[in-house]
Structure 1
């Protein structure tokens, strides 16, 4: 057995199954990093656009004008804009029908915003289950490759009359690389999943707070319109 203890050398000396395990873990790691960079960009943009929209919302702009602006936006609206658009559209639609109490009007509006928020959260959580899966299974895949490689090393060792450390070291080393690669794939995926889950939760909490404040504004408008109609 050759004693070429380098990463490439150990990979080339490994059995076909251990090579397959290493290549699988390498592929999982590459895909995970691609998703990590993509999700980081998406969540950063979502947080930034939410702050910009809420600043504009609280600047005192007329809600109908803001709705018109969001509805005719060329680019895809951010999560808060979609929430506002769904709520204001439902509010205007139900109020136009007339003969609706403020409570029933707000109930319909709130449901529309909840549905919109659920869709937006689903978009933000895209790829997170994959990162969680990679973080969970990669160490076990690597461990499987290690066990298989060590087993083959000892089988080969049993076929010689006089065993030395130099003979068994490369086989054990190539097997342990599979575990190392499993950890290399799992650790960034777990860290990214936890970090991104926290960021999604933070954005979702911001959407919930905005939804409550926006609902309060619409409710006051509904009550004022009812009082005007009654007068």
Structure 2
């Protein structure tokens, strides 16, 4: 019996160094505080990516929700009123709507074609100059203005989103670097102490696993958010192009005909 007990104690000593050192739960704070400087740097870098990506996620969620909500309000008003001047006033009140912003730019360009301030009336042609009906379509200017406005809006909407893709692509490899470094430390400890017990190997392995877990914890939300935002951005882009086409059709049919 005594021999069996000694054997069990020996096995536990080989695995954990001492029997009273068997952990009942993971103490992550101690693992991080006792990690090597390189692993701490890796974790600090991952923390930076995490904070930045979550800040972008929160900002973009609020921005896109507001864009959808106010765009729905503006489009509903636009089709119900069919009053361009009233829609322009409404668009100025809905600054978070990409659709309202491109309408304001298109309407401003339309006003330049008709300085009298009544878009329903064709501008009077100067003597010797062709009118809108003679070889020149006034909607071309509006079309170019809308195209520029859409490009500007898409640049604004996609701003900061690529950082999420960068985070999702790079942080697992940063965590993997920390993993490799932790394993190197483990083998270095084995070589110095000449022992392969977990008391020697465990600290480096713990560093490695923490770095891997941290890299994945940062990357997974960033990838999910990136895919979600890109899907929403494609919807907004389609909505902008659809509204632009409808607006130009109204101009060609009812105003600049």
Answering whether residue 227 of structure 2 is matched by residue 208 of structure 1, we say no
SS of residue paired to 1:14: coil
Within 1, Cα distance between the matches of 2:188 and 2:240? Answer: 60
Residue equivalent to 1:228: none
Q: Which residue of 1 aligns with 2:188?
A: 155
Helix, strand or coil: the match of 2:156?
Answer: helix
* Structure 2 residues not aligned, in runs of 5+: 1-15, 115-122, 126-130
Shift of 1:103: 5.5
Alignment of 1:1-231 (within 5 A): 5-71=26-92, 73=93, 76=95, 78-95=97-114, 96=123, 98=125, 99-101=131-133, 104-224=137-257
Match of 2:117 in 1: none
Instruction: State the shift of 1:194 in Å.
Output: 0.5
Aligned equivalents of 1:126 and 1:139: distance in 2? Answer: 23
Which is higher, the Rg of structure 1 or of structure 2? 2
What runs of 5+ residues in structure 1 fail to find an aligned partner?
Answer: 225-231
Q: Secondary structure at the match of 2:192?
A: coil
Map Cα deviations across residues 177-227 of structure 1 (whole Å, 9 max, x no partner).
111101100010000000001101101101111111111001112454xxx
Distance in 2 (CA, whole Å) between partners of 1:155 and 1:145 is: 15
* CA-based RMSD: 2.0
Matched with 1:227 is: none
Which range moves more in the overlay, 60-69 or 15-24?
A: 60-69
TM-score (structure 2 length as normaliser): 0.80
Distance 1:83 1:158 in 2: 67
Query: Which whole-Å CA distance do the structure 1 matches of 2:178 and 2:136 have between them?
Result: 62
User: Following the alignment from structure 2 to structure 1, what is the Cα–Cα distance between the partners of residues 124 and 245?
Assistant: 24
Segments ≥4 residues shifted beyond 3 Å? 1-5, 68-71, 95-98
**Gap change, CA 1:181 and 1:97, over 3 Å in 2:** farther
Contact 2:66/2:96, CA 8 A, preserved across alignment: no
